Amino acid sequence: MRVLITGAAGFLGSHLCDRFLAEGHDVVGMDNLITGSMKNIEHLFGNDHFKFVKHNVYNYIYLEGEVDAVLHFASPASPNDYLEHPIPTMKVGSIGTMNTLGLARAKEATYMIASTSEVYGDPQINPQPESYWGHVNPIGPRGVYDEAKRFSEAMTMAYHRYHGVDTRILRIFNTYGPRMRLHDGRVVPNFIYQALTGQPLTVYGDGQQTRSFQFYSDLVEGIYRLLLSGENDPVNIGNPSEITILQFAEAVLEVTGSKSEIIHIEPKDDRITDDPKVRRPNITRAKEVLGWEPQVDLHDGLRQTVEYFKDKV
């Protein structure tokens, strides 16, 4: 295949480029580098099957030649990023989605939108199945990300139903691993940085809010299987093993061997407004349709991630 991956210089996009190239496909990576880094893909330069295009996807996209698949993964993804870039976040999820869908339609390509567990908002049921419509504050600070993704899902289904585009909707749950940015504000790099530098691990509130962490390689496997499937309805890809943030902090301390203490704080900014109290995917559909479930143990994944961050601290 010849595949376009937007957000190619990001944490996840760069790993997707690696996977598709390893499978023998040609990859066009596209990124405007607002949060991505060329360091994530510099190892691909010189590969005849990889081409990088610096471009903002909410501007018109033109690509010569055939395209077999379009994977739209461009978007600020951490609260720090989308709160700093609220309007670009909305644009990449709306105009960027329309532009990439238009390209997929013109090229008769399969289309995948990278959606998120944030479409469920602060859920009132746990775990969250794909049939759950969510509990989202559309005008809260996080709404710029949540609603951009909800819009992108709706637009994707509209192109599928009205134009007959072969579409995939991927709902990604918390994912971690090498190539995350050290200071992007998410809990994994935050805790690892604090542990490696001997600082206290700062837990918001009582630490009883829950998350489900999957290693990037499990997610990439799920993405690849989903693209090759015939599934047009949304599919959760995440780890159903749910732990509290306090338990996760303890796991980071165990893996790093750090003597840092854990402290509880009450942040006074928008990062935790409407922050989900629970997060756990129901992955029944992924198991049945894709034959997929996560394989990497949390401690094993953390060890690989900590090794990556040791050189960044």
Nearest CA to 287 out of 235, 243, 242, 241 is that of: 235
Strand 26-31 to 2-6 pairing: parallel
Residue type, 145: Y
CA distance readout (Å), 114 to 12, 42, 48, 226, 246: 10, 23, 26, 11, 28
Work out whether the CA dihedral 235, 204, 263, 311 comes out positive or negative. Answer: positive
- Say how many CA atoms lie within 13 Å of 85 toward its Cβ: 17
Q: Which token pair is 231?
A: 């599934």
Q: Which token pair is 142?
A: 């996080």
Q: In three state form, how does the secondary structure of 99-164 look?
A: HHHHHHHHHCCEEEEEEEHHHHECCCCCCECCCCCCECCCCCCCHHHHHHHHHHHHHHHHHHHHHC
Candidates 82, 111, 145, 159; catalytic one: 145
Is residue 111 flagged as an active site residue? no
Nearest CA to 231 out of 240, 222, 239 is that of: 222
Catalytic residues: 145
